[in-house]
Structure 1
Amino acid sequence: MRRVAIVSEHASPIALAGSVDSGGQNVYVAQVARQLAAQGDKVDVFTRLDSPHLPLEMDWGEGVRIVHVPAGPARYLPKEDLLPYMGEFGAFMQRYFGTHSESYELVHANFFMSAMAALPVARRFGIPLAVTFHALGRVRRLHQAEADRFPDCRFDIEDEIVQEADCIIAECPQDRRDLIDLYGADPRRIRMVPCGFDPQEMWPMERSPARASLGWDKDAFYILQLGRMVPRKGVDNVIRGMARLRKKYGVDARLCVVGGNTAQPLDAATPELARLKAVARQEGVLDFVEFTGRRGRGQLRRYYCASDVFVTTPWYEPFGITPVEAMACGRPVVGSDTGGIRYTVVDGETGFLVPPKDPDALAARLARLARDQRLSANMGLAGARRADRLFTWERVAAELARVFDGLRQGNAAPVSAPGWDADAEARLMA
């Protein structure tokens, strides 16, 4: 049995995914904690106290405890505003580690600010530190430019973490290459472990009953976009692609957009929705786009299974859990040829890869799926097989456990083959 401290300063496992700062990292932290506990570990998740109504500590299922760290005001703050409070976050962890009789054997930090707060703690107590960045500052700046609100000091912080952490967890081959090319990371201390899906949450179901439960037209061609409502996710590109699909190819296409800061699609609560609605109105397809607002995890399977295709065309995506979930539900995926999507989606087999910000290319691929139901079905089956083989959270946690065991024994990550960690891929492909 290991005792593991997972640090996730802004992404709590109990937050509802789909709002601006609540997405894949929240799901990742929640699932990794649960799966490690299922393997017999004791897991404490350290996340910032963002509400005065939350307890300092709370049990969250067998073997998992959440520790709410008082750092900054006890209310929601955008993650870009949290950097000044990371000293306070780390100081709390120092005290907590020093006063609790249980000794942690490993710290797994998620995101650069968590690693920043955890690094001094790990060094003081002689505990190995593994880091999953989830997003890299230099990559973010490349794609978002002036829209990136993090200060330039993020780059120096990440440089130090890359050099000092005992192991860096890359989520896909592109992530590994970025760590080496942009940060000078030592390939010997990088291990690639992807994100995943929960087979108890996501599995195929018949399209017709799923559509009936949502009140969808039984004959229309439905496109699903699901995720956080922020510009880099490229939802505007999906709207424009759907408009071209209708006008140029004559497909009776509809688009469902799931996500937002509230359960209702309120422009005031989710400003990005107002921009997206304006795009749909400009394209003449507002009547064919359904904005649902945020939905709970238990509702998402119906949306995946009711759709004909899942589309995600972000400018960049460090990994992207939603394409894997859609594949697990037996749906073809059309995604941007970037980041983790390039790894999870096999072009021409489980779906299609398209350039981001190219609605014409997107529409052409969607038209092919709309006109060839056999191709669409075969891609959905292939995607489900790939998801089940490679991307369950159980397998992800088992691979992380192998990394953690090696670090506990004083071993750094093994030397990686050119391109990425071939040993991890071989185990995942087994």
Structure 2
Amino acid sequence: MTTESNFATLRQGLQLGCAALVLAAAGLAAPAWAQDTTSIKVLNWQPGGPEYWIALVEAFEAENPDITVELETVPFDRYPEVQGPYITTRSGPDVMQNNSGLELYDRRSAYIELPPETLAAGKNLITYAGGCLNFDTTQPCYGLPFGYQGNVMYYNKAVLTQAGLNAESPPTTWEEMDAACEAVKAIGKTCLAHGMTGVFPAYWNFPEIARNFLTEDDMRAVLAGDLPWTDPKMTSILEAMASIGERGWINSNSPSISMLPDGADIFASGNAAFASTIIADAVNWQAFGAALGDENVGAMRWPVLVADAPLANSFSGTESAVFGVSSWTNKQDAALKFVEFIAGTENGNLLTSLGGGIALNNNVDPSLIPESQALAQIQEIIKTPTLHAGILLSGQEADALARGWQEVTLGRLSVPDWAARMQVALEESPGKN
């Protein structure tokens, strides 16, 4: 027997259905309550900027009208402290962003292994190995990327000219960098805009010095935890990092500030000649061009420290951030669709045209690549890639690297003691033991 309550429910359903039909007849979209939709939360640090992310979400939702996306955007330097509690409580976002390499591997319990049909979305990517164990696509993969990433040093041509230097011929060796820094400091400017807090030293500075002392085999040994920090090659890297402060290249408050946004702001304000950052996503050629004028911004490799080092003139390249599906989500199908879209051609086109990124998708429309001298220089630099030593470090090592560099620069720690701390961090790294 049908109850009065059942009739009420039936009437409500008929009313909603009729309303949807009326809207359809009028050429209007049915409201959200008239459709079955799944809402997914995506934890991210918004690489490429707000405009790109607005366009990305709109394009994804247009292609998947049964899915809506809620973004939880966190500043890059605060990302681990926000993501950590989600992983501990096994709750929260359905999709999460992470850097490729050991940062992702250390947290892989928070992600599902991507199924073959999702990995097939990466078939048009130049590479997606940074989301897979041991950088091997035949092993479990936990995320797909969307762009290429790596390190360069930007320079402000106006500042170099003001300092009496050739703006079209920036320094290529540490000796030339020393001379350039003296000239820049003489006009009251900072030579190398810099910040030491957070993970930036591990990802943006350490790889550029490591290339002077390590071979690719050495780097793979770093990944495996088989090259101790007390090895002369590793201590040479730390000594060179320490010498940057001793040489007076950097701003005096470098130990107490973060590279993003503080250090980058010094460069973007026109108060520094150089800045060591990344090729894409944030604080890139596009952002600096907007702040300083495209005509004033150039991109170069870090100056070479060891002239005959086999990798000294290479590019530290890797996939940019990867996106994976959280292991606790109950919206796995919708979350996987978002990860597949991230790796697709449409998103590659958006990243290229709006996000200042270098897409990994082979099918991106080349006519969308913006005109910029700095970008053109970057396109040449990335033609000779090598492994990115920064993403081979565990979270414990990255933290010890940054803290040690701060203390060494402030004169509170010796390099041998820094190396000893790094070795302890290595031995405490679960991903390497």
Q: TM-score, with normalisation over the residues of structure 1?
A: 0.35
**Higher Rg:** 2
Name which structure has the greater RCO, CA cutoff 8 Å, separation 6+. Answer: 2
Q: TM-score, with normalisation over the residues of structure 2?
A: 0.34
